[in-house]
Structure 1
Amino acid sequence: MSEYRLGRLTAVSEFKEFPGEPAYCPDARRFVRTALADHRRVVDDAELVVSELFGNGCRHTRSGEGGTLGVSVSALVTELTVVSVADQGPTAADLAVGRHPVPVRKPADPDAFGWRGMHLVSELTDDWGYSPNEDGGLTVWAVFESPHLSMARLTG
């Protein structure tokens, strides 16, 4: 494997597929932590974000009905980092009623049980979104900008 290194940082591009069961969330977290070991600035937040996205995939998609979730981690030596979780699409129940759910940041409700995950993702990342997959699923991605890019925006 070839790698590109600049100082203490190594460029990263890793992908791994996991069973779509909550019991595999710690494995997905470890995968992210290992892949981003050199990227200390974002490793904790990226691990937490992937944990939330993985859990959502297990709860709200066909991946959680015996399918799989794909976790991707990419980081440049400039410290721009992207993590994503790809699911296998809507559950059979959602398809039966013509519903194709997508991740949304719901209004905050202090009395609601749950529904805070995308708030967490939004607060920890510089951007997030989703893209449809060819198989009918979604890839939900999150971006952690380089501090150099963030400073350029502030001064530019």
Structure 2
Amino acid sequence: MSDDARGPIQATRTFPGTAENCGRVRSWVRSLLLSYPAVRDSVELVASELFTNAIRHTRSGQPGGTVRVALTTVGDPPTLLRLEITDQGQQSQVPRQAARAVLPPEEAQSGRGLFIASVLSRAWGRFPSDGARPSDQGLEASDGSMTTWVEFLLVPEMEMAGSP
């Protein structure tokens, strides 16, 4: 596929925070990345993992909750893809733990999402999604909502020797 077929992407969509919508997130991401087959599967998997984290660990998974998913390319032609998943904040007043990308024990049934994101991407991180204010632990959003971002390099596929 030639580079000139790869246009910019700037798309945002809000999904209801239910497990049934994880497949819709994957399909939406896949449809946006048809011109980027080298990263499509990785971005789709990471989007699924982060969406699942949002509905399991934040108010996004409570009745009426939502998760915002955004995909944006950077550069002309695009050289970087940024995925952002924004949740609706923590479920309780229990102090938030730092997000860490560690491989859980082999027998663990969950806990691999950020590890997968860290392995498949160029970089990842989190930031308060709105109304950041100082607190004892650093910056915290006024409503607790957080955006987890992941960046992927957009590298053209290698052409085989002798191909036209």
Question: Are 1:133 and 2:141 matched, yes or no?
Answer: no
Residues of 1 paired with 2:98 and 2:88: CA distance? 12
Tell me the secondary structure at the aligned position of residue 42 of structure 1.
helix
Stretches of structure 2 lacking an aligned partner (at least 5 in a row):
131-142, 157-164
CA distance in 2, matches of 1:118, 1:128: 9
| Residue number in structure 2 paired with 1:35 | 32
Pick which of 106-115 and 49-58 moved more.
106-115
- How many percent identity over aligned positions? 32
Q: Which residue of 2 aligns with 1:9?
A: 6
Partner of 2:17: 20
CA distance in 1, matches of 2:149, 2:113: 14
Q: What is the CA-CA distance between 1:147 and the residue it aligns to?
A: 3.4
RMSD of aligned residue pairs (Cα, Å): 1.7
* CA distance in structure 1 between the partners assigned to 2:14 and 2:152 by the alignment: 22
Hey, what's the Cα distance between the residues in 1 that align with 2:13 and 2:78?
23
Give the TM-score taking structure 2 as reference length.
Answer: 0.78
Counterpart for residue 68 of structure 1: 66
Q: Per-residue deviation at 1:100?
A: 2.3
1:111 lines up with 2:107 in the alignment: yes
TM-score using structure 1 length: 0.82
Question: Is 61-70 or 101-110 further displaced after alignment?
Answer: 101-110
Matched, 1:57 2:65: no
CA distance in structure 1 between the partners assigned to 2:34 and 2:48 by the alignment: 17
Higher Cα Rg, which structure: 2
Q: What code does the residue aligned with 1:90 have?
A: Q
Report how far residue 107 of structure 1 moved: 4.6
Q: Report deviation, 1:103.
A: 2.7
The residue identity in structure 2 corresponding to 1:120 is I
Q: Unaligned 5+ residue runs, structure 1?
A: 1-5, 149-156
Residue 151 (structure 1) aligns with: none
Whether contact under 8 Å (1:90, 1:101) holds in the other structure is: no
Aligned length: 139
Closer, same or farther: CA 51–124 of 1 in aligned 2, 3 Å: same
CA distance in 2, matches of 1:17, 1:105: 25
Report how far residue 41 of structure 1 moved.
Answer: 1.5
Q: Which runs of 4+ in 1 moved over 6 A?
A: none
Structure 2 match to 1:84 = 84
